[in-house]
Amino acid sequence: MTTSSRTALSAALRAAIGITAALGIAVAATPAPAAASSVPAPTPLPRLSAAAYLVADLETGDVLAAKDVHGRHRPASTLKVLTALTLLPELDPAATYTAVHDDAAVDGSKVGIVPDATYSVHNLFEGLLLMSGNDAANALANAAGGVPEAVAAMNATAKELGALDTKAVNPSGLDEPGQVTSAHDLAVITRAALERPDFRTYVTTVRSAFPGKMPRRGKPRATFEIYNSNKLLHRYDGAIGVKNGWTSKARGTYVGAATRGDRTLVAVVLKTTKRPAWEETADLLDWGFRNASVTPVGKLAEPSAPEVVEPETTLAAGPVPAAGSRAAAAAGGMLTVPWPVWPALGVVALLAALRVRAVRVRRRRRSRYPLPVWRQSLR
């Protein structure tokens, strides 16, 4: 390519870039069409003492507000949601289990299992999810093959769901070194559990009869009433469960869900210190139902899919930007380019390709026909 050709090519390239820049400025100066209707800004979030929290749409997985969603905290008895989700598919509810001493000797809250007494698996799941019985959790794990095997299955379930902050050490949620979960993970686990009709039935059961100790021969076996310890179920309109928890180290933990109209929300709080955990959960649910059009701040993980909620995401910032607006473009939307710009862009692309080709041709010629020494010294 001659010097005059290169000069003409460069001039054409500069002219095309100038045209494109002018068109781009004109496009940027054109105001976006106004939205047909304004969306009200979200109301302030309630004051919460929880170290971590989250409220999300159960159907879509949209996270409406959150704090420290991946912060790892002690789960207390909210871990029993994972225990139930893991073991419900593995155990026949009509099967009979004979309790052992280790079941009855477990620490913490108990439903009242007696060693050597027999219970149906259905009884044990009611003891687990109504009375939050650690003895029932241990018995179910043993019925599924042993505590270590059940815990390994729980961790596999959490991983499959994308609940990667969760590590189970026991089936009850009692404080153990290394046993942790997060607000995000509890929401993901609960979302999966609530897809099961049997789980929904257990967590919405208010009361039931639980078998007592084994009777003497010829005598009927006595039962006693057990009640669901989830206060949200009794006191929140539309509540559909699911699990409360507390230990001296975990403090208050809670995962609750409720349906109002055509929306179902799930809320999680971890390590509440000033108010009962169920009250802070109720406040989050109230906020979520009042702010139906709030911009989601993230999304819950889907099974076998990467999770996209940012670790330090806080509350939602406002309404969803109008499509095509600068706010939408800044949020990651695609900017629509007007048709007059496309010809100029095509010219720029063509000239750039020609320029690259010319440079490659010059380099090949130089490699084949190297310059004389005196020419090289002048370059």
Q: Which residues pair with 243 in a beta bridge?
A: 255
Between CA 303 and CA 267 the distance in angstroms is 19
- In three-state secondary structure terms, 224 is strand
Look at residue 29 in the predicted model and tell me its pLDDT. 38
Task: Tell me if 256 sits within 8 A of 242, measured CB to CB.
Answer: yes
Task: Tell me if 108 sits within 8 A of 245, measured CB to CB.
Answer: no
Task: Tell me if 150 sits within 8 A of 171, measured CB to CB.
Answer: yes
Clarify whether 304 is annotated catalytic.
Answer: no
Clarify whether 80 is annotated catalytic.
Answer: yes
Q: From the candidates 67, 77, 110, 271, give the one annotated as an active-site residue.
A: 77
The one-character DSSP state at 24 is H
Reading the chain (379 residues) residue by residue, the pLDDT tens digits are 554 555 554 554 455 445 444 444 333 334 444 444 466 788 999 999 999 999 999 999 999 999 999 999 999 999 999 999 999 999 999 999 999 999 999 999 999 999 999 999 999 999 999 999 999 999 999 999 999 999 999 999 999 999 999 999 999 999 999 999 999 999 999 999 999 999 999 999 999 999 999 999 989 999 999 999 999 999 999 999 999 999 999 999 999 999 999 999 999 999 999 999 999 999 999 999 999 889 999 999 998 644 445 444 444 433 333 333 333 333 333 334 445 555 666 665 666 666 656 656 555 544 443 443 333 333 3
Distant-in-sequence, close-in-space partners of 373: CB < 8 Å, separation ≥ 6: none
Alpha-carbon distances of 234 from 83, 159, 191, 210, 365, rounded to whole Å:
23, 32, 21, 20, 85
Nearest in space to 187 (alpha carbons), one of 293, 288, 290: 288
Look at residue 372 in the predicted model and tell me its pLDDT. 38
Please state whether the peptide bond connecting residue 39 to the residue before it is cis, i.e. omega within 30 degrees of 0: no
Q: How many CB atoms lie within 10 A of CB 12?
A: 16
Q: From the candidates 80, 110, 167, 231, give the one annotated as an active-site residue.
A: 80
Q: From the candidates 67, 109, 110, 132, give the one annotated as an active-site residue.
A: 132
Look at residue 320 in the predicted model and tell me its pLDDT. 32
Look at residue 342 in the predicted model and tell me its pLDDT. 55
Clarify whether 377 is annotated catalytic.
Answer: no
Look at residue 197 in the predicted model and tell me its pLDDT. 97
